[in-house]
Chains A and B, each alone.
Chain A
Amino acid sequence: MQQTVEFHDRADRALHNPQIRSNFRYAMDGLMYKRKLSFPDLDELNRLRLRSAEIRANALVNLPELLEQLERRCNENGIQVHWAESVEEANAIVLGIMNRHNAKLLIKGKSMVSEEMELNRYLEQHGIECLESDLGEYILQLAGEPPSHIVAPAIHKSRQQIAQLFKEKFPEIPYTDDVDTLTRNARQILRRKFYDAPVGLSGVNFAVAETGTICLVENEGNGRMCTTVPPVHIAVTGIEKVVEKLSDIPPLLSILPRSATGQHITTYFNMITSPRKPDEKDGPDEVHLVLLDNGRSRIYRDEELIATLRCIRCGACMNHCPVYTRIGGHAYGTTIPGPIGSILEPQKAGLDRHGDLPTASTLCGACGEVCPVRIPIPELLNRLRFERVRQDHTGVTIGQGSQRNPWEARIWKGWSWMHANPAIYRLSIRIATGLRRLLPKRLGAWTRVRSAPRLAAKSLHTLAREKGFDHE
C-alpha cells in the first residue's frame, strides 16, 4: 500500500501547483483542439480507427511468428537483432555495444523504452555520457527530470520556465524566452555533438516483419541525425511494436500524428532497413535492434488484457484525460503516465506497486473514444480494478488481490446483501428517508467542496405506488 500514499501525495502536490495546473490545462486544450481539426470527417476517422486496430490486433495474434520473421529479415539485411527479457539485459546489451566500440558518448533520439530501461542512469554509472537530442528530452536532461508526457516530454514546463533553465545552465547565452531563439540555441549546442558521438540511439514506432524495416516518426530531424550520422545505430523497442506488412504502415502513419499532435504528417519519417551499403553516401556501418520484453509476454497471455499492447504511443488518451490534465504526468510515478500508463504500468510492475493507478479514473471514456487503435481503456481499467481485489489468484497479472482490504471487502459484501434482498432494501430506504433530518451535514471529503446530498421524503418506490403505477 506504499504506492497508495505516494500517488495521493504526488497528485495533491500537482493539484495545488498553479503552474502545473495551467501548463497542462493550456497544453491539453491545444492538443485536443488540433486533433479535432485534423479529423474533419468522422466517418473517415472511424474507418481508419477500425483498420488501425485490426492491424495492431492481427500483429499481436501472430506476435511470436512475426518476431521470428522480423529477426530473419533483419539478419538478411545486416541489422543485428538482440533479445532482452528484462531491463537489465537490455541495458547490458547496449553497454556491450558501446564497449565494443570503446564509445564514451551516446547521442539519443526520443525513446520511451530507453526511459523504461533508465538507460541514461545505467550508462552513466558505467562512465558513458548520454545526450538527449530531442528538444523536450534535452530540456528535461538539463533539469534532471523525467518526461511527463510520452509525445511532448517537457509539456509540464512553460516557455518562461524553459528560458530560466537555459539561463542557469548557459549563462554565456543571452536570456530569451522566444521559442524560435531558444530552439536555435539548443540546436547549435547539440549539432556539434552529433559529429562527436560514435553511437546513436533511437526508439522505434513500428518494426515491419515482412521487410525487416524499422520505422521512426519524428519532427525535429534529430532522429534522422541519430540514426545516420554516428557510425553505429542502436534501436531499442518493446516486442509489441512489430507489424506484419509494409502496407500496414500507411494507415498507422495516417492516424498516429493526427491523434498525437493534429499534424497530418510529421516533418520526418525514417525507414531503416539496413546499415550503409557500399555505394551509399550516408548511414551507419552497424545497426542493432534491441527487442525488450520486460513483462509484455505476460500481458500477452491474457485474451482481454492483450489489447494493452496495441498502443502506438500517440498520447491522445492522456491529452483527453480529465485526470491527467489536472495532475500531470509526474504524479503517476511511472514511465508512461495517463490512461494507457494506468493500465500498462501496473501490469508490468505489478498491482502491488501501482495498484492505485487503475482507480485514478472516472471511467469517463474519453481515452477509449480517441484511442486510434481502439484500446478499450475504460474496460481494462475496470478489469484491473477486479484484479487488484480478486482472491482466486488464477490470472496472469502480478500483484493480484494485493489491494484487497478486508474492511472494504466487508462493506461490499454488506452492500451486495442489502441490494440483493429487496425487502431489506425497501426497509432501509424507508428508515433512512424517515430519519433524513438526522443525517449528517458533513460527509468526509465530499462536503469539503459540496453540500451534502439530501434524501427525499419519499422514495420512488413509495411514490410509484401512491401514483398508481403497476408493479408487475
Chain B
Amino acid sequence: MSLRKTYPKKPEQVYFFGTCLVDMLYPEAGLAGMQLLRREGVNVIYPQNQTCCGQPAWNSGYRDEARRVALTQMACFPQAYPIVVPSGSCAGMMRHHYPALFHGTPQHDAALAFSDRVFELTEFLSRVLKITLSDLGEPVKVALHVSCSARREMGVAGEHQALLEQLKNVELVAQGRSEECCGFGGTFAVKHPEISAAMVEEKATELVATGADSLVSGDCGCLMNITGHLEHRNEKLRGSHIASFLWERTHAADS
C-alpha cells in the first residue's frame, strides 16, 4: 500500500468526504480543505448524506456493521469524480480496506471502483492539482505529525511535508521518533487506555522538545489525542489540521 503511480488530470469537479471527526470536532479543517480545492478552480461537492467511513466498526471486528455504513457512503458519491478526504486514516479505510470489507460480496466490484477514486487531501493538492502556495503569515516554527495511516497506508508523508515547505515563513523543526505512533488507534485508546496514555505522553514530550510554536497534522484522531494531552499538561504548544494551517496562511483576509 502506498502512493499510486499515476494521477488523473485536474478534474472540474470533486467530491469531498469530510469524515465524522472533522464533522463534529474540526469542521473548520474540512471547510479549509474545501476552500483550498475551490481556490484551485475545482467545483467541490459535499454530499449531505455522508456520515462515517465505517472504520471504527471495521477495526473492532464488526464487519456487517461496517459494511452497512460503507454502503451508505458509496451511495453518496454516484458520479465518477475523485473523492477527496482530509484524513490519511479515513482515506486509507476507503481506499485500501473497502475492497477487503466487500470481498466475496456482490458489491466487491463497486467497492474496487469506488476505492480507486479516493484521494487523501495533501496527495490530491500536490499530485493532482500541483498547487503552489504563497505564504502570507508571520515566521513560525512548526512540528509536523504524520499519522501512521498517512505515512504507511497512504504513503503521503512526503506530500504533507512538501506542502509545508512551500510556505517560506514556516520552519519545519525535526523531532525525535517522528515515525512512532501517537497512541490513538481509535478504539485502542478506549480498550487499552493505559498503554495509549504512555504513548501519547512520550509523543507529546518529543513534540514539546522541538520548541515548535505550532503542531500540524493531517489527521484529527491524532490531533485530538495529542493536543488533548498537551492541554492537560498545560503546554503552550497548540495544534491544527494541515488544511486549516495551509488555508489560514495563504488566503488574504478579505477573500
Does any Cβ of B come within 8 Å of A87's Cβ?
no
| A58: Cβ under 8 A from any B Cβ | no
- How far in angstroms is the closest Cβ of chain B from A341? 15
Are the CB atoms of A365 and B153 closer together than 8 Å? yes
Please report which residues of chain B, range 155-205, place their CB below 8 angstroms from some CB of chain A when the two chains form the complex. Answer: 177, 179-181, 183-201
Contacts of A416 on B, CB cut-off 8 Å?
57, 62, 64-66, 68-69
Residue of A nearest to B54 (CB): A419
Q: A363-B59, A461-B23 are in contact. Are A413 and B188 (CB under 8 A)?
A: no
Known: A363-B59, A445-B190, A456-B26. A465 touches B48 (CB 8 A): yes
Find residues 436-453 in chain A having any chain B CB closer than 8 Å to their own CB: 444-453
A347 CB, nearest partner CB in chain B, Å = 15
**Count of CB-CB pairs between chains A and B under 8 Å:** 206
Complex: A470 Cα to B15 Cα, angstroms? 9
Residues B30 and A460 in contact, CB atoms below 8 Å apart: yes
A368 to B153, CA, bound (A): 10
Q: B148 touches which one: A362, A379, A445, A469 (CB < 8 A)?
A: A362
Tell me the dominant secondary structure on chain B's binding face.
helix
As a 0/1 sequence over residues 373 to 398 of chain A, the CB contacts with chain B under 8 angstroms (1 = contact) are: 00000010010111111100000000
Interface size on A, residues (CB 8 A): 70
Closest to A403 in B: B61
Could you say which of A207-215, A307-315, A321-329 contacts chain B?
Answer: A321-329
Q: Which residues of A contact B149 (CB under 8 A)?
A: 365
Known contacts A360-B192, A416-B69, A452-B228, A322 near B181 by CB under 8 Å: yes
Closest A residue to B64 by CB, please name it.
A416
List the A side residues contacting B194 at CB < 8 Å.
8, 11-12, 15, 445
Q: Are A425 and B148 in contact (CB under 8 A)?
A: no
Instruction: Point out the residue from B25, B46, B69, B190 that lies within 8 Å of A455, measured CB to CB.
Output: B25
A384 to B60, CA, bound (A): 10
Contact of A327 among B60, B72, B195, B228 (CB under 8 A): B195
The answer to whether the Cβ of A432 comes within 8 Å of any Cβ in the partner chain is yes
Instruction: Assess whether A369 is interfacial by the CB under 8 Å rule.
Output: yes
Q: A364-B185, A460-B22, A470-B46 are in contact. Are A420 and B69 (CB under 8 A)?
A: yes
User: B200, A450: Cβ atoms under 8 Å?
Assistant: yes
Q: Give per-residue flags for A412-439: 1 if the beta carbon is below 8 A from chain B beta carbons, else 0.
A: 1101101111100110010011000000
Q: Which residues of A lie under 8 Å from residue B20 when comparing CB positions? A: 419
Q: Does B34 contact A (CB under 8 A)?
A: yes
Interface size class of B (residues with CB under 8 A): 35 or more
Provide the bound-state CA to CA distance between A63 and B83, in Å: 43
Report Cα–Cα, A444/B191, bound state, in Å: 11
Is there contact, CB below 8 Å, between A425 and B51? yes
Q: What is the minimal beta-carbon distance from A125 to any residue of chain B, in angstroms?
A: 36
Chain A residues with CB under 8 A of B229 = 449-450
The reply to whether B45 and A469 form a contact with Cβ atoms under 8 Å apart is yes
- Among B44, B188, B189, B231, chain A packs the most CB atoms within 10 A around the CB of B188
A-B contact pairs, 5 of them (CB 8 A): A415-B56, A426-B48, A444-B193, A449-B197, A464-B34
Knowing that A448-B193, A463-B31 touch, tell me 7 more A-B residue pairs with CB under 8 angstroms: A382-B59, A389-B61, A415-B65, A420-B71, A426-B48, A460-B23, A467-B34
Closest 5 CB pairs of A and B: A362-B185, A445-B193, A450-B228, A416-B65, A385-B61
